[in-house]
Structure 1
């Protein structure tokens, strides 16, 4: 058995090293993440594979959440990927509140630290409306259900230390901080700013070429 292991190592050393380095790279440097739901529509659609920059905030020991060095912290507007203990899933959401921020939502209108955000209607359908949300430092499009939902409002909340308030851009159809609570800093594994590739789930998984390397 020992001889077989040694022979296999000698014969496949390059392949084994390549696989090990690739796994370390994906764990600690960069990866991609599949987005199976529409919670971030219209920014991210079902079937998008988004690039995950795992060095955006920290250098971590591979295969752990132990941070060796912190470059920066998430800021409002960042699209973050995090391993949510509360939901038991890896989620993709947008940071709306940083530690110390006071956040309120009334009929899908955000107020951050006493300042109500401005909204401009972009498109409208029978059931939804897409609006440009002018968040301090970044503008992005959110989707609102015209009928509203139980998620459309929440009372004024202060984001605690080492936590973040995150929302999906599809505001009435997202499991986010309104459901799972504030996100601990150590659950955030990276940031995304682009789509790598996209497959159309409703059309035989045909690639959506217009979304390849699409900026978020």
Structure 2
């Protein structure tokens, strides 16, 4: 189910009903009221007046919901949109159950539903955590880290990421961290972004020969390198699939009580 499409349809429907009332129905109600009042010497009683001026229920609902739906559409389409993390592919940066906020204008303003960019602001940079529509199933949103931008040459071999022929710098922080005892916690330097990643020393993981990122596309990888369904398996993300840049965690919910102790900025 495409929530953006449903929201656009709801705004359009309520707006049309509201506009129809303002231009046609409301003047007719007032005319009927004025005619009835002119034909009554004693004046209309309150009950009759209310009945003649009362809005039909579709108009009442449209008038109430249209401004609310319009504000939600504007905020969600052009400013900020919330998402929930459904998998562990971005651990340790993001945990399952994290609720994140996505900046919708960081990479330019896009029309809802069709996702066409009509105002250019900036382009994704290496190291950004980005939400995008999965190329094989556009109705599904994925979140990964931007590893390669147009023109970059990417290779992944022996748990080492190579960018334009050079190994991406990383250093071991901890062996078997409490949050994931079977993994190695490392800090990686990707562009200007320093972030943590996981590697499983007992899992050979995927190997990928060098590929070049085409124009208008991006190469994405999860920080949980051995447990991430990303560009190493299904290829590049086209520019038109970009949703926005993730910038913060505002809540965590794993089925119990919501927790706000993990509020943080996404690096």
TM-score between both structures, scaled by the size of structure 1: 0.89
Superposed, which structure 2 residues align to 1:172-191 within 5 Å? 172-191=226-245
Per-residue deviation at 1:210?
2.2
Q: Establish whether residue 36 from structure 1 lines up as the match of residue 91 from structure 2.
A: no
Q: Establish whether residue 24 from structure 1 lines up as the match of residue 79 from structure 2.
A: no
Provide the rounded CA distance (Å) in 2 between the counterparts of 1:114 and 1:215.
28
What are the Cα deviations for residues 73-117 of structure 1, in whole angstroms up to 9, with x where unaligned? 101000000011314521000000000001111111111112212
- Unmatched runs of 5 consecutive residues or more in structure 1: none
CA separation of 1:178/1:5 partners in 2, compared to 1, >3 Å: closer, same or farther? farther
Provide the rounded CA distance (Å) in 2 between the counterparts of 1:182 and 1:5.
53
| Match of residue 67 from structure 1 | 117
Q: CA RMSD in A?
A: 2.1
Give 2:225's match in structure 1, choosing from 171, 182, 189: 171
Provide the rounded CA distance (Å) in 1 between the counterparts of 2:133 and 2:262.
25
Q: Establish whether residue 94 from structure 1 lines up as the match of residue 145 from structure 2.
A: yes
Provide the rounded CA distance (Å) in 2 between the counterparts of 1:73 and 1:54.
12
Deviating above 6 A after TM superposition, structure 1's stretches of 4 or more consecutive aligned residues are 2-5
Provide the rounded CA distance (Å) in 1 between the counterparts of 2:61 and 2:144.
45
| Match of residue 205 from structure 1 | 256
Provide the rounded CA distance (Å) in 2 between the counterparts of 1:87 and 1:60.
19
**Mean Cα displacement is larger for which, 125-134 or 17-26?**
17-26
| Match of residue 53 from structure 1 | 103
- Unmatched runs of 5 consecutive residues or more in structure 2: 1-20, 26-53
Tell whether the 8 Å contact from 2:171 to 2:188 is kept in structure 1 after alignment: yes
CA separation of 1:62/1:147 partners in 2, compared to 1, >3 Å: closer, same or farther? same
SS of aligned partner of 1:41: coil
Per-residue deviation at 1:28?
2.8
Tell whether the 8 Å contact from 2:135 to 2:238 is kept in structure 1 after alignment: no
CA separation of 1:141/1:55 partners in 2, compared to 1, >3 Å: closer, same or farther? same
Structure with the higher helix share, 1 or 2:
2
TM-score between both structures, scaled by the size of structure 2: 0.73
Superposed, which structure 2 residues align to 1:123-142 within 5 Å? 123-125=174-176, 126-142=181-197
Q: Which has the larger radius of gyration?
A: 2
Relative contact order, CA 8 A, sep 6+: which one is greater? 1
